[in-house]
């Protein structure tokens, strides 16, 4: 079972890179042309962070909406909306798919943690835990809606909850890292 999960992840990563790298290349070229045309002063660190954020969101949407196949189609009905919390997760456990349950919960948390880290790095003073959680919720909601529209997944309240938790965890990690950085700078003086 673990080998099949690793193979699935590998297949998704290859698919994500096959689709994402060409799209990201187009973005980089367009961004470079825009910056040159607008005569905007370029700050390498800011541009690198911006590009990383764009690449992350591109990969997130490819892996969640544009994925090559469904993972849990044996247990779950595709192209529907589940508005009852934790029903689909409990089905995975009831049918003995503990690895799939873990992959679903941990995977969703890990995929959404970067939102809580990257967004506040873009504009530090405008972000609070509530705005970050709301952004994570909105991104997750847009993914769930697109999965329903395109029939590439199950629109599930569980994902909204778990993804938002992942975003909040990412933000907490960001805040802890920021506090450690401030304390380290004070200590070095």
Per-residue model confidence as pLDDT tens for the chain (189 residues): 566 767 777 887 888 888 889 999 999 999 999 999 998 888 999 999 999 999 999 999 998 888 765 444 444 445 577 878 888 888 888 888 787 788 889 989 999 999 999 999 988 777 899 999 999 999 999 999 998 888 887 788 999 999 999 999 999 999 999 999 999 888 887
Q: Are 58 and 118 in contact (CB under 8 A)?
A: no
Q: Are 171 and 186 in contact (CB under 8 A)?
A: no
Q: Tell me the C-alpha distance between 179 and 36, whole Å.
A: 36
Give me the residue spans of the domains in the chain. Answer: 2-188
CA-based nearest residue to 90, from 80, 79, 104:
104
pTM of the model: 0.83
């Amino acid at each position: 079972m673990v080998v099949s999960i690793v193979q699935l992840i590998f297949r998704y990563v290859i698919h994500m890179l096959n689709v994402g790298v060409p799209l990201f290349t187009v973005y980089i070229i367009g961004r470079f042309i825009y910056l040159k045309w607008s005569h905007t002063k370029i700050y390498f660190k800011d541009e690198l962070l911006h590009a990383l954020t764009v690449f992350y969101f591109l990969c997130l949407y490819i892996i969640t909406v544009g994925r090559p196949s469904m993972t849990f189609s044996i247990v779950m009905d595709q192209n529907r909306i589940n508005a009852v919390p934790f029903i689909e997760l409990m089905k995975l456990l009831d049918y003995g798919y503990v690895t799939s349950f873990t992959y679903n919960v941990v995977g969703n948390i890990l995929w959404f943690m970067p939102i809580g880290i990257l967004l506040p790095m873009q504009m530090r003073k405008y972000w609070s835990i509530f705005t970050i959680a709301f952004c994570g919720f909105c991104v997750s909601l847009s993914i769930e809606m697109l999965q329903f529209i395109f029939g590439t997944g199950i629109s599930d309240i569980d994902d909204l909850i778990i993804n938002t938790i992942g975003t909040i965890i990412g933000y907490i990690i960001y805040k802890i890292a920021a506090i450690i950085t401030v304390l380290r700078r004070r200590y070095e003086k």
